[in-house]
Every structure is written in C-alpha cells, then in structure tokens.
Amino acid sequence: MSFKRVKATVGILLICVAILAVLLGVASIKGRRKDTFNAVVMAQYFVRETLTAPTMARFNDDKNLQENPGGSYTVSGTVDMPNNIGLFSPAHYDCTVRKEDVNVWNIVNERCHVAPSTPQP
C-alpha cells in the first residue's frame, strides 16, 4: 500500500470517528432533555396522587427543575387545587424523582410534598 493511500484511509477513518462522536453527543443531549421533561411529568403525577381531587388539579407554569447528584431531579412549583368547598387555592409542591429504568420513575426518599401557599397581605 502506498503512503498516500494509507494517509487517505486514516483521514477517512478519523472523519468517521468524529461524525460518530458528534452523533453520540447529540443523542445524549436529546436523551437528557427527554429525561428532564419526563421528570416534570412524573413529579406532577406523584403530586396528583397526594391530592383529594387529583383530576381537578391545575399546575402552573412556574415550575423549577433541579438536577441532583445521583441522577435524581427535584421539581417544584405551584398547583391550583380545590379546597373542601370547591374553591381553587394555590399550593406549593416539591417532589424528588429518579428514573430507575426505561419507563420506571420513583419518588426518592418519600420526597413529594404539597403545602398550601400562605396568602399575601
């Protein structure tokens, strides 16, 4: 094999490796973005499980997402939920969830709390 041919083969191989690295990086970013979206959805699901009227709950757009060490996520925000006379009142929630398998999410350390918001004067 000539030197030029070896050089061309190595160059093509390096380009293929670079393309593969970029594709794997994009796939991991998309996977991470999907996990953060699913963390919010699953946290809201677990919050609904704690409410007396889960189908009436309305989650507000003010949610916060924090990625924790160990792969768990803490999601917090406000949810409007009906009180015992049917009027909606805001409540603060925070829930820590972790993805255990492809479609399996669990609450971490029983961390899923909902507390009525204090009225502003």
What is the torsion angle, in degrees rounded to the nearest 10, for the CA atoms of residue 92, residue 96, residue 101 and residue 102?
Answer: 40
Q: H-helix or E-strand containing 75?
A: strand 72-82
Give the closest residue to 94 by CA, choosing from 82, 106, 107.
Answer: 107
The pLDDT assigned to 68 comes to 92
Other CB atoms within a 10 A radius of the CB of residue 92 amount to 15
Q: What is the CA radius of gyration of the chain?
A: 23
Other CB atoms within a 10 A radius of the CB of residue 80 amount to 15
pLDDT (tens, 9 = 90+) of the chain, 121 residues, equals: 565 665 556 456 545 444 444 444 433 444 556 788 999 999 999 999 988 888 999 999 888 999 999 889 999 999 998 888 888 999 999 999 999 987 899 999 887 888 887 655 5
